[in-house]
Amino acid sequence: MSTMKAIVFHKVNDMTLETVPIPEPAPDQVLIKVAACGICATDPHILHGVWPGGFPLIPGHEASGEVVETGKAVTNLRIGDRITVDPNVACGYCEFCQRGKVHLCKNQKPFGVFAPGGFAEYAVIAATHALKLPDGMSLEEGAMCEPASCCLRGTQMAKIKMGDSIMVHGVGAIGNMNAQYARLCGATTVIVSDPIESRRKLALKMGADYAFDPTEPGLYEKVRKLLPDGPDVIMDCAGIPAIVEEAVKQVARGGTVVAFGVCDAGEYIKVSPSYINDNELTICGSYNNPVTQYPSIQAIASGRLRVKELISHYFKLEEYREAFEVFGSEGTTKLVIKP
């Protein structure tokens, strides 16, 4: 067999299911048979031209699978190994890589973003970025390791410590995992906000203390009744600039606002530098997954981070249009394609 089925983005708003050649692994790569690949908000953003991508592109970067072929130089993996993909392969020689900031590498060509990804029956990835899954972890959970590792980075940037309070806006799979990590890091009050009722209910089931509908009046009045000084951390996982702008006003003195969700590049917020100074606020982003994939695998394997309940729908490759149409709608959290 020399061909496979794959979803292909040809250009903005142009995607098809095609038969394409199965890729051959380079000496330092492995070929995997893809078992599962989650749909991330980045994928429709690439399709609709909001986020850059390398057209034509086989998208999908939240992948897991089984090694079916190894390159000649690969020694750490064998055929049959079950793996999860770390999609962000850094160059190793730019100044950011040399300073240990591999996630900010200037020359990255991420799997599923600028290199062929996991919305296909087979894919290739550098052997250094194919991490073995522990016995007992399902391949479906393996597909959740990359988004979980990005969320761990968000928690690290928030510097959450024992006794802190946090409010997470947007509790799809990403916001839900950020809320879970906050609890694991010691947060004693976890508040979430989402307009979709099913997501609010799931967040409460997964450990959040309070869940509010932001479309109802008086959101922060309700929060202030629980936390008179405001939350220590407010994290936007919805990618809405107005949320970030309001969070700067509502976070506790000495608090942190994390812009985690992907906003459109042309959108801006208005903040007062004087207010930031007077209240000693921290406003930060959270980008990629620098050396957070392995601990996330362990968190999932141990059962401390619950991800399987976050997968609401599975789709075949042939159902790709339906998958992209329902993404983000009522009753959905994580959508996973199973080639």
Residues that are catalytic: 42, 45
Three-state secondary structure call for residue 313: strand
**Rounded-to-5 percentages of helix, strand, coil across the chain:** 30, 25, 45
Residues 6+ apart with CB under 8 A from 88: 102, 103, 105, 108, 110, 111, 129, 288, 289
Given a contact cutoff of 8 angstroms between Cβ atoms, the answer to whether 171 and 163 are in contact is no
Calpha distance 174→211 (Å, rounded): 16
Residues 6+ apart with CB under 8 A from 93: none
The tokens of 118 are what?
Answer: 């996991």
The half-sphere exposure of 254 on its side-chain side, counting CA atoms within 13 A, is 5
